[in-house]
A and B are shown apart, each in its own frame.
Chain A
Amino acid sequence: MNVVAKTETGRALGDAFAVVRDRLPGKGKIADQRREAFEAYERLGLPHRRIEDWKYTDLRALMREVLPLAPAPDAAALNRAAAAVELRAIDGVRRLVLVDGAFAPDLSDLGNLDKGLSIRPLREVLDAGDAALSAQAFASDTSNPMIALNGAMATDGVVIDIANGTVLAQPLHIVHVASGATPTAMFTRSLLRLGRDTGVTLVESYLAGDGAKAYQTHDGLIVAIGDNARLDHVRLVEDSVDAFNISSATVSLGAHAHFNTFGLTSGGHVSRYQLTVTCAGEGSNVETNGVNLINGKQHADTTLFMDHAVPHCASREIFRAVVDDRAHSVFQGRIIVRPDAQKTDAKMMTRALLLSDDAEADNKPELEIFADDVTCGHGATTGALDESLLFYMRARGLPEKEAQALLIQAFVGEAIETIASDALREVAIATAQRWLQARA
């Protein structure tokens, strides 16, 4: 590991941590874990391009510093947040809102909880001192500096438990909103635990309130999917174009469990999503899909780590990036098949579409195979829109932008189609449409 000289901002943050420490929920063991996590972060500092996993997303150059912790939202902040939430409301979901890194009960929908469903704010859980749960929430890998930082600083989040045998018809929707009072950083961490034979749909979205600009979102999600359970997950990043979104999700699957996730990133100045999925039970099935629609000077990075630890599991990854102007899209996907994970079936496909000469797309699909009886493959392509197809459509009277829009829609369609819920698929399509219309 490279020895990294501590930067000014690194020191400043160290002091900041000392200051905010008492504001952070959780005492005793949790406080110790936070301190350890912060020390782990301090050792590494903000990741930079000399660290292989961050080669294409150099946070020292892009983000430079971690902003001070956001203050708890006041009434005005909550109002601005409420307006933003309404604007992107999704029908028929149970909404759970986090404003500036704090759970907002008044904006959330906690009434009439289904049988077997429990939702609690993380702060409450930590203050109550649920030892087993706190341990799970803070057990994350501290070798990744940004996950460590998130663990150290997390102020709030939601803890969702789904009891064995419960299948929820109503999707849960976690909304992260930056109210936009001052440029600050919010740190949230949420936990979702699915028991045996359960089923749920989780939507996560990241929004900015009116006037919110260069804020930072640091989010972490920890998911445990029990045997025979199914989680459908849709993630929409619509942060302000000056914002930073550094998020991670750690998902583990039990036997015969199913995880279907789709992420769409159209907002944010710099976003990085680190998804780690572990097939820990035999016969589990993972579908990981994503779309980046970026322009201007946006930088969007999806880093996926697919870990096949046991035999007879299958995973599929479909990733599409549409990159316009001077934007930069990054996809790093690593599939690892452990020595015992025989009969693994893993496929990954990543494609990038460059719409401008200044756009950049970097793809790094990786395979690490230690078992012999497997079928694994990956593919990566990069290119521009097909000139002959464009010509065909224009010859039939479509304006150029419209013809391009049609082709782009078809390009990202393959990934969007994988969303299981019709209603959520429509939401993703609508988001893509908005992006295309803004382009025209």
Chain B
Amino acid sequence: MPAVQETVERVRRIDVDQYRYGFETQIESDKAPKGLSEDTVRFISAKKNEPAWMLEWRLEAYRRWLTMTEPTWARVDYPKIDYQDIYYYSAPKPKKTLSSIDEIDPEILKTYEKLGIPLREVAILEGVEPPPGGPPSPSRKIAVDAVFDSVSVATTFQKELKAAGVIFMPISEAIREHPELVQKYLGTVVPTSDNYFATLNSAVFSDGSFVYVPPGVRCPMELSTYFRINERNTGQFERTLIIADKGSYVSYLEGCTAPQRDENQLHAAVVELVTLDDAEIKYSTVQNWYPGNSEGKGGIYNFVTKRGDCRGKNSKISWTQVETGSAITWKYPSCILRGDNSSGEFYSIAISNGYQQVDSGTKMIHLGKNTSSRIISKGIAAGRSQNTYRGLVSAHRKATGARNYTACDSLLIGDKCGAHTVPYVEAKNSSATFEHEATTSKISEDVLFYCIQRGLSQEEAVGLVVNGFVKDVLQQLPMEFAVEAQKLISISLEGSVG
């Protein structure tokens, strides 16, 4: 039957081995000596021309890290990481000092082009056709900070942002140019002693984005950082710090990809968000690190600490994440609802396939009065993957009127995978109202039958059901990302049918 051939073709096109961003860029790079020691920390700090206080901060974190042990409580299983077998710093070798985007190594520009990330402002303005195979060129303006291995290679639209008063630059530059802001906020949400991976990051982070939105400013465009791991044997440790001052608003997008390799690479990032009175940050992630091949070989270890602090009254932080990549994900974007009437949101789609392991979720810590939070988590497990939602909702004694709604649903595709839900619901205040619900099921055969009977193929039917399942979360993504995310979902679900 012709349909059979068509099905085979379709499945092959979206195989897990068909990870689209798995290419490698041949480029000379400048690396720190392999391994981790105080010298590595000093090397990175020196490379970045950092002030003395920053080096001290790093060294303190490093010494702290030496006393800590790797956490084992997550439902993930991986061979012991040899922290001495990793390059902690790798940067594309600069040919000369850059004054404009055209002077960036064309190889890097090509890389981002292939990934569909527009680094040339002009190209967007003139509406040039998107590169074949890449996602469509965004219709709106997005300022992009592109991080290649350990360093930021380009930040677009800086002038325009400056006019609005928004600071958007690599954090290494911010440490030099805006030390007062960095010193005031860095490490106040995720302290250097927070956890094993965050502490490691504090010691060796090399770059990342820094955003400061001044009082009353609505950031004129979406800000975006695109992380790319390229070099072999390197770890990526980026650090992002976003501060929304009183009454401001910013929407920030983050994307990540890596080449296809047999080795496991470590990615341990820290993201800190701070909102002051009446401010709002919307943080969206499409995480598509290389997940490993269909035998579970290779892939990125994604051990990330993300936390937002609603410090001011009526402030709001919203996390949206689409997790499709990484061999192992260990990530709990959280909100500390400190300000009265502040609110936190967490929308997540975590898709695991092959041998991927996902242990992700959120923490909503209610401290202020009348704080509210909302958690919508959709986990889809296929292949031989394990997909865990782990979350905490807690109300402090003084958090009167705290309100939470949590819904986490899991969908299982195939009988070799696992889906788990581990929620902690802690109430120390009688006026707190918490609701939590979770379901796990497989795609109903009735529903599939209904679709197929109306002429859809099996794959289309599954795609339809899954897209319906994750719709609540996709709606929260900025439009450009939603398109991308929808595609990712179809890629990730390769071979899961039947």
Spell out A's residues near B (CB within 8 Å).
Answer: 52, 339, 342, 352, 354-384
Contacts and interface: CB of A to CB of B under 8 A. Distances in A.
Given A377-B437, A377-B438, A363 B425 contact: yes
B431 A384 contact: yes
B438 A384 contact: no
A52 B73 CA distance: 9
B141 interface: no
Given A369-B440, A374-B442, A376-B441, A364 B432 contact: no
B491 interface: no
A368 B415 contact: no
Contacts, number: 114
Contact of B428 (A360, A370, A374): A360
B29 interface: no
Interface in B402-424: 410, 412-424
Interface string B60-78: 0000000000000100000
Contacts of B419: 367, 369
Nearest to A331: B425
B25 interface: no
Nearest to B429: A357
Contact of B438 (A352, A370, A373, A379): A379
A378 B417 contact: no
Contacts of A366: 420-423
A382 B73 CA distance: 26
Contacts of B429: 354, 357
Contacts of A383: 432-434
Nearest to A348: B438
Q: Is the interface of B mostly helix, strand, loop or mixed?
A: strand
A367 B425 contact: no
B427 A373 contact: no
B439 interface: yes
Contacts of B427: 352, 354, 360-362, 382
Given A380-B423, A382-B425, A375 B441 contact: yes
Contacts of A357: 397, 429-431
Interface in B422-481: 422-442
Contacts of A354: 427, 429-430, 432
A384 B431 CA distance: 6
A378 B434 contact: no
Give the residue among B397, B410, B428 with the most A Cβ atoms within 10 A: B428
Taking residues whose C-beta sits less than 8 angstroms from the other chain, chain B's interface range is 20 to 34
Given A367-B440, A369-B412, A373-B415, A378 B435 contact: no
Contact of B423 (A364, A368, A377): A364
B442 A373 contact: yes
Contact of A377 (B418, B420, B440, B442): B440
B413 A372 contact: yes
Given A355-B430, A365-B436, A372 B420 contact: no
A84 B417 CA distance: 54
A373 B414 CA distance: 9
A95 to B, nearest CB: 40
A352 B425 CA distance: 10
Nearest to B439: A377
Nearest 7 pairs of A and B residues by beta carbon? A354-B430, A372-B412, A382-B427, A380-B436, A377-B439, A367-B421, A363-B425
Contacts of A355: 430
A382 B410 CA distance: 23
Contacts of B413: 372
Given A339-B415, A364-B424, A367-B419, 19 more contacts: A354-B429, A360-B426, A360-B428, A364-B425, A365-B421, A366-B421, A367-B420, A367-B438, A369-B418, A369-B440, A370-B418, A371-B415, A374-B412, A375-B439, A376-B439, A376-B441, A378-B438, A383-B434, A384-B431
